[in-house]
C-alpha cells in the first residue's frame, strides 16, 4: 500500500467515514428509539415513526442485543475476508464496495414499518434489518480502519490521522445531536430527517481515489497472509491488546448508553438539546490540542484517565440538571448544562482518537516485529468487545430504563462505567501507558 504523505491528505482521508458513521448513529440513536414512544415528552409525533410504539419491548430488547453481539462476532470472519482478499481492483477497495452498497439499501429499508401498530412482525422485521445493517456497516468501517496502519508512514502520522478522524467524528456527532433536534422541533419527522442526511454517505468514496494498492502503483506488501484462526490467535495472544479490550468494553457500555438514550434524556430534562450539544462539540478541535499536550508529556494512559474523569463530571452535571428541572429557572439549568457540556468537550474527541490509535499502533508493532498483517483483525476483535458492550447498553439497560420510565438514572450508570474503566487503566502495560508520548505535538502541528 502506498503511504499517504502530507497532513492535508491525511486530514481529508480522515473524513472518509463521516457519512457512513452518520447513518450508523442515526439508526442506533434515533431510528431504534423512534420505534417506541417511551421516554419521550415533547414532539413525540416527530421523534417517533407514527406517534405510537411499533415493536414489542421485551423481544425488541433481545433483538437489539443480538444485533450488537452479532455485529461484534461477524467482525472476525469479515476481518479475515478483508485481510486476505485479492482482486485487481484492490482488496481494500473491493471490501469497501461490498460493504457500502448494502449498508445504504438496508438504511432505507429501516425507515419502512410493515404494520402501523405494535406487533411481533414489526419487531422481527426491524431486528433482522438491524442485524444485516450492522454487519455490512462493520465490513465497510473495518476495512477503512484497517488501512490506517497501511497508509501511515510512522506513529506520528498514525496519531495525526486518528486525531483527524476524531475531529470529523465530532462533525457528524454535531450534525446528529445538534442539528437533528432542530429539524424535529420544526415538526420534521425523524424518518425524513434520516433521508436528509443520507447523501453524506458519499464521503466513503474518498478512499477509492486516495488508496494506491499493490497492483496500481502502490508498494508491494510484505505482510504474511494469515488464516482466520491464525490471525485471531495473534490478536488474542497479545496480552497488552486483550487487556485494552476489557478496559475499553467497560467504557463502551457507558458511552453507548449515553449515545443511545441521549434524545430521551434531554427530553426528560426539558433542556435545549441543540444548545447543550453545541457547547459539547464546538470546542473539540481546541480541546484535542490540550489532550495532545497531555499525552505528549505523560503518555496515553494518563490522557485516558483524564477523559474518563471529565466525562463523569459531565454526566454528574446532567443528573444535577434533572434534579433542578422545574425547581429553578430553566435558563439557569441550561447555563449549568452548557458549562457541563464545555467540560465534556475535553473527552469527546479523545474518546474517538484513543479507540483508533491504540489498535493501529499495536497492529503496526506486530507487523514490524513478526511481519503479521493483522490490522483488520485487531479492529475486528475490538469491534467484538465493543459490540457486546453496546448490545448490553442499548439493549437490556436502555430498554429497561425507558420501559420503567427512569431514564434520569442513565447518567448514574455511565458514571459507574467510567469509574470502573478508570481503575482498570492503572494496570495498562507500558506499551499502552506511554503510547504516543513525544509524538503527539508533531501530530498536531
How large is the average pLDDT for residues 357-377? Answer: 76
pLDDT at site 224: 55
Architecture of domain 7-202+223-444: Up-down Bundle (1.20)
Q: What percent of the chain has pLDDT over 90?
A: 29
The total of other beta-carbon atoms located within 10 Å of residue 442's CB is 16
Query: Is the model's pLDDT at 254 over the cut of 60?
Result: yes
pLDDT in tens, 304-313: 898 899 889 9
Look at residue 136 in the predicted model and tell me its pLDDT.
93
Q: From CA 248, how far away is CA 422, in angstroms rounded?
A: 10
Q: Tell which wins on pLDDT, 355 or 15.
A: 15
294: phi > 0 → left, psi -120 to 50 → alpha, else beta; which? alpha
319-357 residue pLDDT tens: 888 888 778 877 888 888 888 888 877 787 777 778 878
pLDDT of res. 4: 82
Domain boundaries, the chain: 7-202+223-444
Residue 378 in contact with residue 164, Cβ under 8 Å?
no
Do residues 265 and 407 lie in contact, with contact meaning Cβ atoms separated by under 8 Å? yes
Average pLDDT over every residue of 63-81: 80
The Cα 326–Cα 335 span in angstroms is 14
Residue 217, pLDDT score = 47
- For residue 218, the model assigns a pLDDT of 47
Percentages helix, strand, coil for the chain (3-state, rounded to 5) are 80, 0, 20
The angle at the Cα of 445, spanning 368 to 295, to the nearest 5 degrees, equals: 65
User: Which whole number is the average pLDDT over 224-234?
Assistant: 72
**Is 328 strand, coil or helix?**
strand
Amino acid at each position: 500500500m502506498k503511504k499517504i504523505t502530507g497532513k492535508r491528505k491525511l486530514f481529508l482521508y480522515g473524513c472518509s467515514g463521516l457519512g457512513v458513521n452518520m447513518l450508523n448513529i442515526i439508526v442506533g440513536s434515533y431510528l431504534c428509539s423512534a420505534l417506541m414512544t417511551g421516554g419521550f415528552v415533547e414532539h413525540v409525533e416527530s421523534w417517533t415513526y407514527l406517534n405510537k410504539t411499533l415493536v414489542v419491548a421485551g423481544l425488541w430488547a433481545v433483538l437489539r442485543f443480538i444485533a450488537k453481539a452479532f455485529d461484534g462476532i461477524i467482525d472476525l470472519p469479515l476481518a479475515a475476508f478483508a485481510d486476505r482478499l485479492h482482486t485487481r481492483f484492490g482488496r481494500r477497495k473491493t471490501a469497501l464496495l461490498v460493504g457500502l452498497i448494502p449498508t445504504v439499501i438496508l438504511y432505507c429499508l429501516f425507515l419502512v414499518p410493515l404494520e402501523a401498530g405494535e406487533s411481533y412482525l414489526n419487531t422481527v422485521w426491524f431486528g433482522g434489518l438491524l442485524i444485516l445493517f450492522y454487519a455490512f456497516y462493520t465490513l465497510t468501517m473495518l476495512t477503512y480502519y484497517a488501512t490506517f496502519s497501511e497508509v501511515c508512514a510512522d506513529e506520528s502520522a498514525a496519531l495525526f490521522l486518528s486525531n483527524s478522524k476524531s475531529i470529523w467524528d465530532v462533525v457528524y456527532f454535531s450534525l446528529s445531536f445538534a442539528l437533528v433536534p432542530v429539524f424535529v422541533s420544526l415538526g420534521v419527522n425523524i424518518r425524513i430527517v434520516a433521508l436528509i442526511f443520507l447523501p453524506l454517505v458519499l464521503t466513503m468514496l474518498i478512499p477509492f481515489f486516495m488508496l494506491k494498492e499493490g497492483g496500481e502503483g502502490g508498494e508491494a506488501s510484505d505482510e504474511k497472509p494469515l488464516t482466520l484462526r491464525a490471525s485471531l490467535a495473534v490478536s488474542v495472544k497479545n496480552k497488552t491488546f486483550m487487556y485494552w479490550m476489557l478496559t475499553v468494553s467497560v467504557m463502551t457500555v457507558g458511552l453507548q448508553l449515553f449515545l443511545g438514550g441521549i434524545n430521551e434524556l434531554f427530553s426528560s430534562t426539558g433542556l435545549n438539546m441543540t444548545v447543550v450539544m453545541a457547547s459539547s462539540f464546538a470546542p473539540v478541535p481546541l480541546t484535542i490540542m490540550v489532550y495532545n499536550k497531555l499525552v505528549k508529556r505523560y503518555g496515553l494512559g494518563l490522557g485516558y484517565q483524564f477523559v474518563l474523569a471529565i466525562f463523569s463530571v459531565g454526566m454528574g452535571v446532567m443528573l444535577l440538571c434533572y434534579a433542578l428541572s422545574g425547581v429553578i429557572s430553566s435558563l439557569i439549568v441550561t447555563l449549568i448544562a452548557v458549562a457541563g457540556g464545555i467540560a465534556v468537550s475535553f473527552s469527546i474527541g479523545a474518546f474517538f482518537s484513543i479507540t483508533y490509535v491504540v489498535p493501529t499502533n499495536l497492529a503496526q508493532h506486530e507487523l514490524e516485529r513478526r511481519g503479521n498483517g493483522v490490522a483488520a483483525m485487531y479492529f475486528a476483535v475490538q469491534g467484538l468487545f465493543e459490540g457486546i458492550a453496546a448490545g448490553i447498553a442499548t439493549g437490556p439497560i436502555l430498554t429497561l430504563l425507558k420501559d420503567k420510565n427512569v431514564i434520569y438514572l442513565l447518567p448514574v450508570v455511565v458514571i459507574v462505567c467510567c469509574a470502573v474503566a478508570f481503575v482498570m487503566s492503572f494496570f495498562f502495560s507500558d506499551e499502552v501507558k506511554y503510547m504516543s508520548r513525544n509524538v503527539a505535538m508533531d501530530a498536531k502541528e
